[in-house]
Amino acid sequence: MRARLSLRLAAALTSGLIAVALGVTLAATASAAARQQDPVPIGPNEYFSGYINNHPPGKVVIKVVCPGPAQKTGHPAGNQHVEVKTVSPTSTFDVGYTGSAGNTITAALAPAASTNGLASFKDFFLPKLISTKIVVPCSGTGTVVFAPSPGSSTAKSATLPVTFENIAT
C-alpha cells in the first residue's frame, strides 16, 4: 500500500512539475514575443517613423569614437541600431508616409551625401547595425532623414533629430 501511495505521490509531483515547467516556458515565449515584432514588408500608403537605438521617445544619441581632442569627425561606436516602424498618423514625433508607390525606406544623415547612408529597409521592425565605417561629427546635433522610395507625389520623409556624443574623450 505504501508503494502505491509513493508511486501516486511521485506521479502527482511529476505532473505538477511538468505543468509548472510548461507554464514557465510558455510565459517566457510570450514575453519574448511581446518584445520582438516580426518583420513586416514595407508597402505603399503606410505611415512610419525612424528609430535609432530604440529612440524616440526620449533623446536620440549616436555614440561616436573620436580619439584626441582636435578631431572634428569620427566613426559611430559599434552595436548601435537604426530601424523603421509603422505608426499611426497621430504620433507625437515626425511621421513619414510611403506614398502611393513606396516599398523601401532609406535612412541617411542630412545633408545627403554618398558617405552618410545608415541603412536601407524593405521591412518594418527589422533593426540594422549602423556602420562603424561612416564618418560623423564628434559632437553636436544633426538630422537623420528616413526617405521612402520610389517617390511619389504623396510620399513624405520622416526626420529624426540626433545628438552626436563622443565616448572616447
User: How do residues 89-130 score in pLDDT, each as one tens digit?
Assistant: 876 668 999 999 999 999 999 875 446 789 999 999 999 999
pTM for the predicted model, two decimal places: 0.76
Residues 16 and 74 occupy one common structural domain:
no
* Mean predicted lDDT score pLDDT of the chain: 82
Residues 26 and 106 occupy one common structural domain:
no
Joined together, the cell numbers standing for residue 150 give 520610389
The percent of residues in the chain predicted with pLDDT above 90, rounded, is 62
Strands 158-166 and 117-121 come out as: unpaired
Residues 58 and 135 occupy one common structural domain:
yes
CB-based contact 145:159 (threshold 8 Å): yes
Residues 20 and 95 occupy one common structural domain:
no
CB-based contact 146:36 (threshold 8 Å): no
Whichever domain contains 95, its CATH number is 2.60.40
User: How do residues 14-26 score in pLDDT, each as one tens digit?
Assistant: 444 444 444 444 4
Cis peptide before 39 (omega within 30 of 0): no
Domain coverage including residue 101 = 40-166
Residues 15 and 89 occupy one common structural domain:
no
Residues 30 and 17 occupy one common structural domain:
yes
Q: What's the domain count of the chain?
A: 2
